[in-house]
Structure formats: structure tokens, C-alpha cells
Structure 1
């Protein structure tokens, strides 16, 4: 994000880190070939290339989409964009979550890993061609707010006060910016409380797999493979995104009810907590009465 804001710009940053991510996927495919596989290949692919590439893309891609809308004339469009953006991610996750286990079961690891590589190559080429044809709004680097905030914090530590950094108190920063920094700092305790939830949420794929291996998966004379249980999350996201965006929000809007972002976040967090409690209950039930041992 800092590179995008200060040097490269959002478009170039996404494209550059996409190449890094692509190299990681390619190396992962190579590592699946037993005759040439080496342990360092997997480590380099997963822990370095894919990790760095993913971080560079995820920190910029949602902002890149928002730049395609006018902040005043397209407010509704921006809101819908984020909903569809998140839904599309989960559609891709759903397709990959279905295709990859089937390829792994019917063929081998190499074929299963080639699928995301080919999909990512197509996506990167589409992004590159769109940029070359001038289809995207490419915002120029305008400086990083993160670096400015760090500078303010360092100065505040030296002066033992944020207020002394205001221009009205002889400092070098606008009063409004200092107030924004204060508002951000007030959110830090909230972010700290979110960390345990995020830790649990990112382990959904592992939890679904391990729980599914110990449960009765027979449905209508068909036994669901454990790996396919991971798709419950993206299916739920896609379905609920459609219901909320296309049905719930329009109904509320007609009645003059517009939920603020913080209220939506609060409701979503509460539902997330409820889902984790359900997962805990299921896990306790599995341990007390396991179907398979």
C-alpha cells in the first residue's frame, strides 16, 4: 500500500505483485512433479512469493476498483461494487474449491495446481490488456497517509503530546489531520478485539475439513468429499450478498431506513460470533460422540 501511494501507483503495484504471485504458483506446480521436486521450492513458493504477491494485490485491488467511480456521482455504485467484488471473490473461491479437489481425486496434485495457475494467468493478462487499452482510471501516487501518521506518532512521542504537532500549537501538521490521527488511534482497541475473530475465521478451511472427516457426509445416497465442505463459506457469502444487496437494502431504503457502515459492521460481527459459537458446539458434539475414530 505504501509503494502504491508513494512510488508505483495502484495499477502498477497490482500488476507487479501479480507477476510475483504468478511465479509462486508456477513454482508450486513445478514442486508437485516428484522427479524434480525439492523442499525449498514449496517453502519459497508458499512462504515468500505467494505471500508477498498476495499481500501486494490485496492491499490495492479493492482501492483500484473504487477509483473507477466518481466519489460524488457514483456513491451507490461504489457500495454495490464492494458487494459484488466480495461476492465475485467467493464465486472464484467456490469454483476453485470444487474443481481443485475433483482434479486432485481424479488426476494428481500437478493437474490440481495448474488450474489456479491458468486462471491467474488469464486474470493478469486481462488486467494488463485493460490497462494498455486505457480502460482503467489510474490514480497517480499522492503520498502515503501511513507514512505521515508514523511521522506524527514519532513526533508525538518526542514531544509527549499530539496537540503540539498542530499548526495552531506551533507544529507542522494541519489540525484536521491530527484529529484524524486521534480518531484512528481510538479505533486501535477495537481492532485488537477483532484479531481473535480473524484468527478463527481464517482457519475456517482447516476447521471445515477436519470436522467433515469425522462427520456423516452422506446426503441423498451421495457422500460429500471432505475437501468440498470448504465451499460452504463462499456459497453462503454469495447467496447472502445477493439477498442483502438485491432484496433487503432496497426494501429498507423504500422505508427510509439506511444502515450506516458501522451498524452493518456491528451486525456482521455479531453474526460472525454466532457462527463461531455454532462451530464450537459442533466440535464439542463431534468429540463427545465421534462417528469415526
Structure 2
């Protein structure tokens, strides 16, 4: 028991510091390489990452010689096992268990969980008798359930991914219109504004891992402090707050443009400090620490052991599909709001656009996604090891 608890603690902490390292790399890139590309040379700006990648590849190859692979517990292809369970469950959907031939088979049937109970029929033969280990085992059925249980969480996380896509697009475009001077002769490149997210992540991860988790661990008696789903949901709340903040700041930016007669002068800097954008970036960084790292750990931990790499792919697909949905949403809104000679919400002249409306829409979409997420998260049953 103690060994498992230590493993759960270590795994949760690993994902925190893994994302911390990634954020450090991204932040350094945004500060150093963006400056080099804009002020020195684009060739040098691309050459440095190339050299770094070559060094990283060499280190990886050196480490791969000493890496120890875990022994496979089951020689069967995991995708074949899961596909077989789904096919047999569909074929046996009309069947009910008949007389159970032995106590061993009865025990096997009782080992199946109650969630997604229809998959239990994968253990039945066409005549209703249990087929035992010859076709589908209890482990096969439970692994299939573990994978399918993630689907509602995956779907409801897409709203968060749509919001996540805005930090590198419209946030940057907003910043390009504001006063970016931080010294008499230095202007912050618009793309570098994303360092606000990186710095907030680098500050909040140590605070979360070393302060928040130990305190919550004492309160909840759980090795990870709060559960993975609670962590993900908390990040969604911060994401909503960031959209509310972004909408309010954009409203103020539009008012500043109007008050200074700049509505039709998009290339003229609005007399409003770039620091007004800092709160929405910082809130997005806090949301990332909670939701992104939580999703990494959740998707890795809750899939069958043989499908851990698929779990990380499931996590990454949330943000890939979220970006596609963001593009589709923007395209649809652009067409709907640009008719009859009106300015689109996303007009090239941001002073005539309405990003504030879009941010309010994302706030509502996030609230809807979070409500659906709560419904599925509350009924979710963790795998046994994670529940300890």
C-alpha cells in the first residue's frame, strides 16, 4: 500500500515538472529567438534551434542504449483485445447469462464492474454460457471500459482546447495594437507576450507541487492532494475567468481607440499599456498548469498499461481537434457577421472588430463545456490503483 502511494505521488509530481521543463524551453525561445529573428537574422534564429535539436538527438541516442523496457504482461495485441470485446458485446447484446457451469466462472462474472455493463456480455458465448479465457477475459473487458470511460472527459475538454488556441492568435494580435515600450528605445515583440504564460507556469508549478499539494494532501488524505478530475475542472474555471478578463480588457481597448480617434487608424499604436493584457495571460498559465498537466496524467494513468502511449495521443488530440474547432468557429462567425456591409468580429482593423463579443461567446462555451464535464466527472470511477 505504501509503495503504491509513493508511486502515485511521484507520478503526479513528474508530470508537473515535465510541463515545467517544457515551459522553460518555450519561454526562452520566445524571449531569445524572437528577438534574434526580428533584430539580427532569421537564418541565425532558425539555425540555433537546429543545433539544439541535433544535440538533443545525440543525448537521446546515448540514453537509448541504457533504457530498460518494461516486460509485457500479455502477449496479445491490445487493440485486437479491445476490438474483440466490442464486437462480441455487440453480437451478444440480446443474450443473457444462462446457467453458470462453475463457481470459478461465477466469480469471474462478479469481477466485472458495473460501469458500461453492456460490455460484460463479451464474456458470453452465443448460447449464454460464459466462455472464460478462451475468447475474452475479465481483464480484456475492464481494459475496454477504461478506454471508453475517457471519451466523455475527452469530449467535454474540447471547449477548454478552443480557448487555449486563442493565446497564440488573437491575444498576440491584440498586443500588437498596444503600447509595447518598456524602455525608451525597446519595444516588446508581440509574439513575446506569450512569455507571460510561461512565467506564470514556472511560478505556479513549484507553488502547486510544494505548497498546494501538501496542504490538500493533509485535508483529503489522498497522495495526489486533489484528484486528477478535480484538478482538470479547476483549470477550466480559471480558463473561463481568463476569457471574462480578456473580454473586459478588449472592451477597454476599443474604448481607448474610440476616445483617441483611432478607429480607422489600425496601424497607429493605441495609448494603452501592454500590461493590461498580463492578467489574461497569467490566468491562462494557471489554467494550463491545472488542466493540461491534469489531462496528461489522467490520460496516461487511466488507460490500460499496454496503451500508455495511446493515452498521451488521446491527450494531444484534445488540443489538435480543439484548434480545428476554433478555426471552424471563427470561420463560421466571420461569415455570419460580415454580411450587409458590416464589419466582421474579426476584421483586419481590430479597432472596428469585436473580439470582445467573441471572448464572451467563448466564456459561454466554456461554461457549457464545464457543466457537461462536471456531470461526467462526478460519476467517473477511477482505476483501482489511482483511487488509493
- TM-score normalized by the length of structure 1: 0.65
Match of 1:163 in 2: 120
8 Å CA contact retained: 1:214, 1:286: no
Q: Which runs of 5+ in 1 are unaligned?
A: 1-69
Larger C-alpha radius of gyration, 1 or 2? 2
Q: Which aligned pairs between 1:243-282 and structure 2 lie closer than 5 A?
A: 243-255=207-219, 257=221, 258-282=225-249
Q: Which moved more, 1:146-155 or 1:267-276?
A: 146-155
Encode CA deviations 1:142-200: one digit per residue, 9 max, x unaligned.
65544432333344344445332125744722234424433543442332121132133
Judged with a 3 Å threshold, the aligned counterparts in structure 2 of structure 1 residues 240 and 189 are, in CA distance, closer, same or farther, namely: same
Q: Which aligned pairs between 1:86-125 and structure 2 lie closer than 5 A?
A: 86-125=19-58
1:83 matched to 2:16? The reply is yes
Match of 1:20 in 2: none
Q: Which aligned pairs between 1:1-293 and structure 2 lie closer than 5 A?
A: 74-132=7-65, 134=66, 136-139=67-70, 145-160=78-93, 162-166=119-123, 169-170=130-131, 172-219=135-182, 221=184, 222-255=186-219, 257=221, 258-287=225-254, 289-290=256-257, 293=266
8 Å CA contact retained: 2:88, 2:121: no
Judged with a 3 Å threshold, the aligned counterparts in structure 2 of structure 1 residues 194 and 287 are, in CA distance, closer, same or farther, namely: farther
Please give the alpha-carbon distance, in whole angstroms, between the structure 1 residues aligned to 2:79 and 2:238.
31
Give 1 or 2: higher helix fraction: 1
Encode CA deviations 1:118-165: one digit per residue, 9 max, x unaligned.
222211211111222x2x332356655444323333443444453321
Note the C-alpha offset of 1:75.
3.3
Note the C-alpha offset of 1:201.
0.8
Judged with a 3 Å threshold, the aligned counterparts in structure 2 of structure 1 residues 105 and 254 are, in CA distance, closer, same or farther, namely: same
Aligned length: 222
8 Å CA contact retained: 2:176, 2:190: yes
Q: Which runs of 5+ in 2 are unaligned?
A: 94-117, 267-388
8 Å CA contact retained: 2:180, 2:187: yes
Please give the alpha-carbon distance, in whole angstroms, between the structure 2 residues aligned to 1:118 and 1:256.
47
Match of 2:96 in 1: none
Partner SS, residue 137 of structure 1: coil
Encode CA deviations 1:36-84: one digit per residue, 9 max, x unaligned.
xxxxxxxxxxxxxxxxxxxxxxxxxxxxxxxxxx866543222221111
Note the C-alpha offset of 1:241.
0.3
Note the C-alpha offset of 1:104.
0.5
- TM-score normalized by the length of structure 2: 0.50
Note the C-alpha offset of 1:250.
2.3
Please give the alpha-carbon distance, in whole angstroms, between the structure 2 residues aligned to 1:287 and 1:147.
56
Q: Which moved more, 1:163-172 or 1:115-124?
A: 163-172
Note the C-alpha offset of 1:210.
0.8
Judged with a 3 Å threshold, the aligned counterparts in structure 2 of structure 1 residues 240 and 289 are, in CA distance, closer, same or farther, namely: same
Note the C-alpha offset of 1:245.
0.8
Judged with a 3 Å threshold, the aligned counterparts in structure 2 of structure 1 residues 73 and 241 are, in CA distance, closer, same or farther, namely: closer
8 Å CA contact retained: 1:164, 1:170: no
Encode CA deviations 1:12-48: one digit per residue, 9 max, x unaligned.
xxxxxxxxxxxxxxxxxxxxxxxxxxxxxxxxxxxxx
